[in-house]
Amino acid sequence: MSAERILYPCYFDATLQRREGRRVPRELGIKSPDLPAIEAALRKMKAPYRLEQQHHPARWAEREGRAVVEWEGSKEDLIRRVAKRLRSRK
């Protein structure tokens, strides 16, 4: 059984500071990431996922949603792979 990893759009937002929730270097981030973009990246990776209408605890007013991904590797590896797919999309 795979571990579930939660991804929020703010993890990939190049306009945010790390303390505001960004989890990737600015060079890997994009401006205004959204859940459909993350979904497209996960679909290309063929990673099993589901979308939820939950929000990041520190950004509760944003209501941006999240993706729950079944992933055996580290969360950091998953975040970087998704970020690279998002960058190649833009």
- Which domain CATH number covers 66? 3.30.56.30
Q: Which helix (H) or strand (E) holds 81?
A: helix 75-89
Give the number of domains in the chain.
1
The residue with tokens 């303390």 is 19
Does this model's pTM top 0.85? My answer is: yes
Q: How far apart are CA 38 and CA 85, in angstroms?
A: 9
Range of the domain at 33: 4-89
Q: pLDDT (tens digit, 9 = 90+) per residue, 4-32?
A: 999 999 999 999 999 999 999 999 999 99
Q: pLDDT (tens digit, 9 = 90+) per residue, 43-78?
A: 999 999 999 999 888 888 788 999 999 999 999 999
Chain-centroid distance of CA 52 in Å reads 13
Beta bridge partners of 5: 69
> Edge-to-edge strands of the sheet including 66-70?
4-7, 66-70, 49-52
